[in-house]
Homo-oligomer: A and B are copies of this chain.
Amino acid sequence: MKRGTLYGVGLGPGAADLMTLRALDCLRKVDCIILPRKDEKSSSVSWNIAEESVGLIPGQERLFLSFPMSRDPKVTTRAWNVAVKEIRDRIFAGKSVAFISVGDPFIYSSFIYLYEHAQKSWPEIEIKVIPGVSSISAAPIAAGVPVADGRERIAIIPAVYNKDDLRTIIRMFDTIILMKASSVMPEIVEVIESEGLMDKSIYVASATMDKEQIVTDIRTIKGKRGMYFSMVVIAKKDHSGVLFGNGV
């Protein structure tokens, strides 16, 4: 029997109209959309982004799957085993299945685990990945901070580092984007302050979503934890790549 295609679909950072035309087209055509959520009591953050534009498609299945946020491998393994079985059943029955991700499916997304599993375990199936606008683009725009001009270097680091490490990276790069900053915000602010970069740092949570939050003076949140989709953008802007006249 012909296998279905597995799609990893990036939805963009949160605003419904920041989906791509390709993502929307895919989600309107597939047999099944997987709606990832934290647990059975939660809604799906990613489906909340897509729902308005995708609308109701007759005959399309929308399947909630739970991915608990846990550091216990037993808990995450159990959830992934369920998810993989549900997805496999449909694909091997010839159905196309889309797994939706906030942002981009290849940047800090759970889709990566599914992709790697599918490649290894189901080599005969076709996998298509549709890129999305990442919060790496969207958060700096929300904050009004250009990420990098022609000569600048960008470091993107998730909140799993020690302070010395963070200090080294901050010194080596022009723009530093600290992802998933929520739990380590106090430590991040401490390092930023000691590096003298308080005025070059902006906190952004839930960029482009309704509950977007931007803090340009991070002194005001010193000692506080951040929200779930939160990040810090440090842009030194010590130099500029092109010079042009100011005559206009």
List residues of A whose CB falls within 8 A of some B CB.
10, 12-13, 15-22, 24-25, 53, 73, 76-77, 80-81, 84-85, 88, 104-108, 110, 112-113, 115-117, 121, 129-134, 136-138, 140-141, 145-158, 160-161, 168-169, 172-173, 180, 208, 240-248
Contacts and interface: CB of A to CB of B under 8 A. Distances in A.
A18 B116 contact: no
Given A21-B24, A88-B248, A107-B147, 12 more contacts: A18-B21, A19-B21, A73-B242, A77-B243, A77-B245, A106-B141, A113-B242, A113-B244, A115-B146, A121-B248, A154-B154, A168-B172
B121 A131 contact: no
Nearest to A139: B131
A161 B150 CA distance: 12
B245 A140 contact: no
Contacts of A104: 133, 137, 141, 147
State the number of copies, please.
2
Nearest to A248: B84
A90 to B, nearest CB: 13
A81 B22 CA distance: 37
A80 B145 CA distance: 21
A107 B136 CA distance: 9
Given A20-B20, A20-B133, A76 B146 contact: no
Nearest to A135: B131
Contacts of A21: 16-21, 24, 53
Contacts of A155: 153-156, 173
Contact of A141 (B129, B145, B150, B158): B129
A243 B73 contact: yes
